[in-house]
């Protein structure tokens, strides 16, 4: 944020909590605030005004800002953990791998191509072998 915006945020803190920030304290606040995004600071101050009784210290504002950033950090979607959430061919593929059969399955082709790997149709596992591995893995076909 700009210096003027930082000074305005300090004025908001002074006005809302009826305190006076002067001298070195004002410089500390503005030096901290200019390194932040104004929308994030205003959101954090709004949250603090609803949940805290006393005027915030810089450390409290930093804590709330950090929590807000963590809450907005995207996370990977959870992976299927139940057997029903896993495509049937994967169970056969895992069984084949556990038996040192590393031939490719046709279902792997889109991922290989997307990652830029070369696809060789000569190394693809025949359908009858794939069906056998899936049945042995407990897949109802």
Which is it for the CA torsion 93, 96, 97, 101, positive or negative?
negative
18: left (phi over 0), alpha (psi -120 to 50) or beta: left
The domains of the chain are located at 3-72, 83-136
Task: Give me the pLDDT at residue 118, please.
Answer: 86
Burial of 88 (0-12, 13-18, 19+ CB in 10 A): middle
> pLDDT tens digits, the chain, 141 residues: what are they?
999 999 999 999 999 888 888 889 999 999 999 999 999 999 999 999 999 888 899 999 999 999 888 776 666 666 666 656 778 899 999 999 999 999 999 999 988 888 888 888 888 999 999 999 999 998 887
CA 40 to chain centre: 18
Task: Give me the pLDDT at residue 38, please.
Answer: 92
Burial of 64 (0-12, 13-18, 19+ CB in 10 A): buried
> Would you state the structure tokens that stand for residue 132, as one six-digit string?
């056998």
Question: What letter would DSSP give residue 73?
Answer: S
Reported pTM: 0.51
Task: Give me the pLDDT at residue 64, please.
Answer: 93
């Amino acid at each position: 944020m700009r210096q003027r915006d930082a000074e305005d945020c300090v004025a908001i803190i002074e006005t809302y909590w009826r305190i006076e920030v002067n001298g070195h304290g004002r410089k500390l606040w503005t030096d901290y605030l200019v390194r932040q995004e104004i929308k994030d600071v205003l959101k954090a101050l709004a949250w603090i005004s609803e949940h805290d009784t006393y005027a915030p210290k810089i450390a409290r504002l930093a804590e709330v800002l950090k929590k807000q950033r963590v809450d907005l950090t995207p996370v990977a979607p959870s992976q299927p953990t139940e057997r029903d959430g896993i495509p049937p061919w994967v169970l056969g593929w895992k069984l084949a791998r556990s038996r040192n059969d590393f031939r490719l399955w046709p279902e792997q082709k889109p991922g290989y191509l997307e990652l830029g790997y070369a696809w060789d149709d000569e190394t693809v596992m025949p359908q009858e072998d794939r069906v056998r591995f899936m049945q042995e893995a407990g897949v109802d076909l």
